[in-house]
A and B are shown apart, each in its own frame.
Chain A
Amino acid sequence: EVQLVESGGGLVQPGGSLRLSCAASGFTFSDHYMDWVRQAPGKGLEWVGRTRNKGYTTKYAASVKGRFTISRDDSNNLLYLQVNSLKTEDTAVYYCARGEGSSGVFDIWGQGTMVTVAS
C-alpha cells in the first residue's frame, strides 16, 4: 500500500523549532518530487515547499523561505521539514505529499501533523 505518515508536530512557543518527518512506503521514494503543504485551522491549502528527486534541489514559499528547510533521506524513505523561528501564523496541519512522476501534481497525501505555535 502506498502510504505517507507524518510525525513530529506539537505545541511550540513563538521563536521555537520543530522537525517534522514523513515516512514513505509502498513506492520508490527516490523517483518522486516530495512536497510539504499546510492548512491553517479553517483555512485553505498553502504550498510550503518541494524537494526534487535526483538532485535534491529545493524550492520554498516566500512565507517560509529562510526559516524552513526541506530535506530527504532516500535510503530510508524519509522526508523532513525543519521549521525554525516559528510564528503564530505557522499554526497549521502540515501535510507531506508525493509529486506524481510526469506532472508533479500531488497524487498521494499523508494524514498530516498539527503544529501549534502559541505562548
Chain B
Amino acid sequence: DIVMTQSPDSLAVSLGERATINCKSSQSVLSRSNNKNYLAWYQQKPGQPPVLLIYWASTRESGVPDRFSGSGSGTDFTLTISSLQAEDVAVYYCQHYYDTPLTFGGGTKVEIK
C-alpha cells in the first residue's frame, strides 16, 4: 500500500501570508502511461465533508480560488495557499488515487496566527 505522509501536522499563518503544506508518498504516483500524477488535495472544515481542491497534483477543481495551487511530481507534492483568508481555516488532506487501496495523508490543520 502507498503511505501518504503530510507535514506539518498543523501551522498558523497570518492573514494574507503564504501557507505551504507538504505531502510525500511512499512510492511514485506518476503514471508512465499518461505522465500524470495521481494526487489530489481536499479541504475539510469542521462538521463538513471534504471538498476537492486539486487533482492531477496541480489542476484546480472548478470554483476553487486561484490562491490555492498544487505542485510536485513523483513522490513529493505541495499545496500552497498564496494569501491566507479567514475562510481557509480547515484541515487539508492529500490523497493518492494511483491504485487501490486509495490512501490519505494524516491531515494538516491550518489556523490563523
Interface residues of A (CB under 8 A from B): 35, 44-47, 50, 59, 61-62, 95, 100, 103-107, 109-112
Contacts and interface: CB of A to CB of B under 8 A. Distances in A.
B40 A109 contact: no
Contacts, number: 55
Q: Which bucket holds chain B's interface residue count? A: 20 to 34
The 3 closest A-B pairs by CB, nearest first: A109-B49, A59-B100, A47-B102
A32 to B, nearest CB: 14
B42 A106 contact: yes
A111 B45 CA distance: 12
Given A109-B51, A110-B49, A111-B49, A103 B101 contact: no
B61 interface: yes
Given A44-B93, A44-B106, A45-B93, A107 B101 contact: no
18 contacts: A44-B104, A44-B105, A45-B42, A45-B95, A47-B100, A47-B104, A50-B100, A59-B100, A62-B101, A100-B55, A103-B56, A105-B55, A106-B40, A106-B42, A106-B52, A106-B95, A107-B61, A112-B49
Contacts of B70: none
Nearest to A58: B100
Interface of B: 1, 38, 40, 42, 44, 48-52, 55-56, 61, 93, 95, 97, 100-107
B89 to A, nearest CB: 17
A114 to B, nearest CB: 12
A83 to B, nearest CB: 17
Nearest to B51: A109
Nearest to B99: A59
Contact of B101 (A59, A95, A105, A112): A59
A46 B95 CA distance: 10
Contacts of B40: 103, 105-106
